[in-house]
């Protein structure tokens, strides 16, 4: 089955700019999303941190590029990861996205952040970040949306976190999320949580 998010004549995501060259689209996406990220950092997206709020965050960041910004993907996705020997993380099935996302967000909101030690805050933040990310609700833009949303949430709780560290080390951060979530339904568990702990601890100023 062909990916309906791609142009029929080239393997590039359909976009509002009509770009059919992957390098050009990557550049345009980086520029547009960077501006939206800066705006959200200055003017947080208001909401209650439930599922509709999360979907609006994706729409806010990617509205200039994709008609489906803010809309959960309708297809299953498989992304080969070098760090997993070509295997993919088991992302949520399209039919489970809303339920899984809602559950992960509810778990984040219900954590007793105010009575945690600083190190526990960091590790629980990692857990929520990775759990929401594993749902992978969108065809594109999941990592940036999840990180921005979760950072805004923890900011609102009064914890200072260095968002720039995540942006400057985006490749490492994504690989760390893959490593954190490398446990599979067949019982195999290759997860390594220390990489995500390291960058998040650093962002909280614990290192």
> What domains sit in the chain, N to C, each tagged with a CATH number?
22-203 (1.10.3290.10)
Long-range CB contact pairs, 34-43, < 8 A, 24+: 36/60, 36/61, 36/62, 36/63, 36/64, 37/61, 37/144, 37/148, 37/167, 40/148, 40/152, 41/163
pLDDT at residue 1 in the model? 66
| Residue range 61-73: mean pLDDT, rounded | 98
Indicate the pTM of the whole model: 0.95
- State percent of the chain over pLDDT 90: 91
pLDDT at residue 6 in the model? 97
What confidence category does residue 207 fall into, taking pLDDT thresholds of 50, 70 and 90? low
CA distance 26 to 106: 33
Inform me whether the pLDDT recorded for 79 exceeds 80: yes
Identify the CA nearest to 204 among candidates 171, 157, 170, 172: 157
Identify the CA nearest to 40 among candidates 133, 159, 145: 145
């Amino acid at each position: 089955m062909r990916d309906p998010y791609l142009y029929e004549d080239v393997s590039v995501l359909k976009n509002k700019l009509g770009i059919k060259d992957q390098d050009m689209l990557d550049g345009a996406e980086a520029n547009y999303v960077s501006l939206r990220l800066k705006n959200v950092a200055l003017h947080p997206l208001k909401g209650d941190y439930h599922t509709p709020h999360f979907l609006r965050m994706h729409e806010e960041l990617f509205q200039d590029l994709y008609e489906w910004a803010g809309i959960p993907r309708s297809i299953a996705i498989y992304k080969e990861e070098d760090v997993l020997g070509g295997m993919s993380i088991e992302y949520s099935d399209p039919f489970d996205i809303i339920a899984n996302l809602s559950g992960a967000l509810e778990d984040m909101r219900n954590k007793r952040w105010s009575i945690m030690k600083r190190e526990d805050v960091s590790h629980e933040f990692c857990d929520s970040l990775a759990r929401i990310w594993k749902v992978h609700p969108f065809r594109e833009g999941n990592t940036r949306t999840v990180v921005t949303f979760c950072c805004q949430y923890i900011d609102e709780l009064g914890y200072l976190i260095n968002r720039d560290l995540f942006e400057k080390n985006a490749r490492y951060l994504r690989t760390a999320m893959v490593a954190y979530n490398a446990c599979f339904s067949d019982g195999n568990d290759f997860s390594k949580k220390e990489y995500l702990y390291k960058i998040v601890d650093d962002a909280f100023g614990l290192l």
